Amino acid sequence: MRCLLIGHTGTLGKILYEGFSKIPEIELITASRQAGDYHVAIDDSESVKALFAAVGPIDAIVSAAGSTVFKPFSALEPADIQQSIESKLQGQVNLVLIGQHALNKGGSITLTSGILNREFIPQGTSSALVNGALEAFVAAAAYEIGGGLRINVVSPNALVGSWESYASSFRGFIPVGDAPVFAAYEKSVFGIMTGQTFIV
């Protein structure tokens, strides 16, 4: 099974890289802007087209890439929202719209949202907007996508690996460990479910 992981060098991506690397039937292919087997900027559709043309047919796309802007609401500018949309939302939507044509029959796409559209923290409004949109997109796309393809999104809580820097903003949250996070992505890649948001 050829699996393309985008964002493998990040806090989340490292968990997924380590997990998928240990699965013998997976041939793991990595990409990000600055590292990996291929370089891609997911917010640039031409870059995403070039990525899939270079990678060739695959069986799974897993995205741990993209970012949102954290700022106090009174300081949020339209450009901050635009940046969040272009990176985490449009970037992952690009992976779906372009990547669907590179997937073999029965293949899967797994995106990443996050807890911040269900529970709220200071400065988290752009994340709430993007995560909610991603989950709606995935739920609808699952009905329309052809070729026996499946599409899901994983919504992690704050990760243990980010806790040192996140703890003061996420007071009262319990960070999620690597094993349950990886399990959600594994379930999406190897399971039969589609259109789901897997909350961990």
Ligand X SMILES: NC(=O)c1ccc[n+]([C@@H]2O[C@H](COP(=O)([O-])OP(=O)(O)OC[C@H]3O[C@@H](n4cnc5c(N)ncnc54)[C@H](OP(=O)(O)O)[C@@H]3O)[C@@H](O)[C@H]2O)c1
Q: Side chain identity at 86, as an amino acid letter?
A: E
Which residue in 90, 112, 196, 197 binds ligand X (CB under 6 A)? 112
Q: Find the binder of ligand X among 55, 60, 91, 125 (CB under 6 A).
A: 91
* Per-position b or e across 74-95, b if 16+ CB within 10 A of its CB: eebeeebbebbbbbbbbbbbbb
Binding segment for ligand X (CB under 6 A), chosen from 65-73, 76-84, 95-103, 187-195, is: 65-73
CA distance 20 to 158: 21
Q: Whose Cβ is closer to ligand X: residue 2's or residue 88's? A: 88
Give the residue at shortest CB distance from ligand X: 10
DSSP β-ladder status, 27-32 and 58-63: unpaired
- Can you tell me which of 67, 83, 104, 123 binds ligand X, judged by CB under 6 A? 67
The nearest distance, CB 149 to ligand X, in angstroms, is: 22
Q: Which is nearer to ligand X, 34 or 74 (CB)?
A: 34
Beta strands per DSSP E along the chain: 2-6, 27-32, 38-39, 58-63, 103-112, 150-155, 197-199
Residues 130-169, mask of contacts with ligand X (x by CB under 6 A) = --------------------------x-xx--x-------
* 32 sits near ligand X (criterion: CB under 6 A): yes
Q: Could you tell me the strand order of the sheet in which 38-39 lies?
A: 38-39, 27-32, 2-6, 58-63, 103-112, 150-155, 197-199
Write out the residues near ligand X by the rule CB under 6 A: 6-13, 32-35, 40-43, 64-68, 87-88, 91, 112, 114, 156, 158-159, 162
